[in-house]
């Protein structure tokens, strides 16, 4: 297979594809990186199997797609502050980020993308769900789209449902420079800067309310939009193996790691890529 040729196999009707035919430990040509990016933009999240990348190799691959940014709350792994461990231990009941969300949407400039590699996986369970928020927006009525186009969402890092999912890791790996709270205000409907498509940009983990409205006033519409985004026909489910990589676009997806593996250990390494202010 030529270096720039990749084998892209969709895994669901709405979102997600596996990319085959590559060894990511090799130096990939600019043409191959461009082909990967096209697949990523088309399918919103792409997956690679059987890629035993060392941390430095993972970091090198991620840097071909953008600038690396550090996660605000948790320290990185030894020698690689840009790579954070996403861990659930055998005795723990809560999994890191175990709720539908788009990563760190409470930042002024949320990340463009996230790359996650599996280091240890449970004997069963531990899959991740992904949802296509383009389709969630496009399926709304024209009247609802007009209503949403002018709304701004207020997102907070302290929303309880989300902050509880990182408590186990913050206990022993907290960054000393983390702020008590991050708050970001972003359009409810954002336009993807590369594709030009519109996507819903609220989530149950971080969105508190609409700007200039109370939480009580915002709650009914937010609840409807949150349910809309995760309708089964807009989603896919990915089953991890050691060496599997997921690379998703935070501008048009949400994800939810399923917490169904109590008593087992799951260890992943995560990198985030810099984005811009949602428009």
Nearest alpha carbon to residue 197 among 138, 142, 157:
138
Asked whether 250 and 107 are in contact (CB, 8 A), the reply is no
pLDDT at 7: 96
Q: Does a structural domain hold residue 278?
A: no
| pLDDT tens track, the chain, 279 positions | 444 579 999 999 999 999 999 999 999 999 999 999 999 999 999 999 999 999 999 999 999 999 999 887 788 999 999 999 999 999 998 888 889 999 999 999 999 999 999 999 999 999 999 999 999 999 999 999 999 999 999 999 987 566 566 555 565 666 667 777 899 999 999 999 999 999 999 999 999 999 999 999 999 999 999 999 999 999 999 999 999 999 999 999 999 999 999 999 999 999 999 999 999
**CA distances to 2, 34, 207 from 30, in Å:** 13, 6, 38
- Range of 43's domain? 7-273
Write the Ramachandran bin of 21: left for phi over 0, alpha for psi from -120 to 50, otherwise beta: left
The tens digit of pLDDT for each residue in 151-161 reads 999 999 987 56
| Beta partners for residue 129, in sequence order | 237, 256
Q: Does a structural domain hold residue 60?
A: yes
pLDDT at 149: 92
Q: Are strands 253-257 and 198-200 parallel, antiparallel or unpaired?
A: unpaired
Q: Does a structural domain hold residue 132?
A: yes
Q: What is the CATH number of the domain that holds 202?
A: 3.60.130.10
Asked whether 75 and 81 are in contact (CB, 8 A), the reply is yes
pLDDT at 166: 57
Q: Does a structural domain hold residue 121?
A: yes
Q: Does a structural domain hold residue 13?
A: yes
CB atoms under 10 Å from CB of 145, counted, come to 14
CB atoms under 10 Å from CB of 161, counted, come to 13
pLDDT at 1: 41
The tens digit of pLDDT for each residue in 247-266 reads 999 999 999 999 999 999 99
pLDDT at 171: 58
Cα torsion through 92, 98, 155, 81, rounded to 10 = 70
Q: Which residues does the annotation mark as catalytic?
A: 101, 103, 255, 270
Q: Does a structural domain hold residue 2?
A: no
Nearest alpha carbon to residue 238 among 268, 264, 258, 212:
258
17: Cα separation from own chain's centroid: 15
pTM, whole model, 2 decimals?
0.92
Quote the number of domains for the chain.
1
161: Cα separation from own chain's centroid: 17
pLDDT at 79: 95
pLDDT at 3: 46
pLDDT at 162: 60
Q: Does a structural domain hold residue 104?
A: yes
Q: Does a structural domain hold residue 32?
A: yes
Q: Where are the alpha helices (DSSP H) in the chain?
A: 30-43, 55-62, 133-138, 142-148, 160-163, 167-173, 215-229
């Amino acid at each position: 297979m030529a270096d720039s040729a990749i084998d892209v196999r969709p895994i669901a009707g709405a979102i997600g594809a596996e990319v085959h035919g590559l060894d990511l430990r090799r130096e990939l040509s600019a043409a191959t990186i461009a082909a990967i990016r096209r697949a990523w933009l088309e399918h919103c999240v792409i997956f690679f199997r059987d890629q035993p990348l060392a941390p430095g190799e993972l970091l090198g691959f991620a840097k071909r797609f953008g600038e690396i940014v550090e996660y605000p709350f948790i320290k990185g792994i030894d020698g690689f502050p840009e790579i954070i461990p996403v861990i659930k231990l055998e005795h723990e009941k809560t999994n890191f980020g175990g709720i539908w969300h788009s990563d760190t949407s409470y930042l002024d400039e949320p990340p463009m993308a996230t790359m996650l590699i599996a280091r240890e996986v449970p004997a069963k369970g531990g899959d991740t769900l992904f949802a296509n928020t383009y389709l969630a927006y496009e399926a709304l009525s024209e009247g609802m789209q007009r209503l949403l186009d002018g709304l701004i969402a207020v997102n907070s890092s302290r929303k309880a449902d989300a902050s509880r999912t990182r408590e186990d890791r913050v206990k022993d790996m907290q960054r000393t420079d983390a702020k008590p709270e991050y708050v970001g205000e972003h359009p409810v409907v954002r336009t993807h800067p590369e594709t030009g498509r519109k996507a819903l940009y609220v989530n149950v983990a971080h969105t508190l309310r609409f700007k200039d409205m109370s939480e009580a006033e915002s709650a009914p519409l937010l609840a409807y939009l949150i349910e809309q985004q995760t309708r089964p026909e807009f989603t896919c489910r990915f089953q991890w193996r050691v060496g599997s990589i997921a690379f998703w676009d935070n501008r048009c997806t949400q994800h939810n790691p399923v917490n169904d593996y109590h008593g087992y250990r799951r260890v992943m390494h995560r990198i985030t890529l810099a984005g811009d202010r949602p428009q």
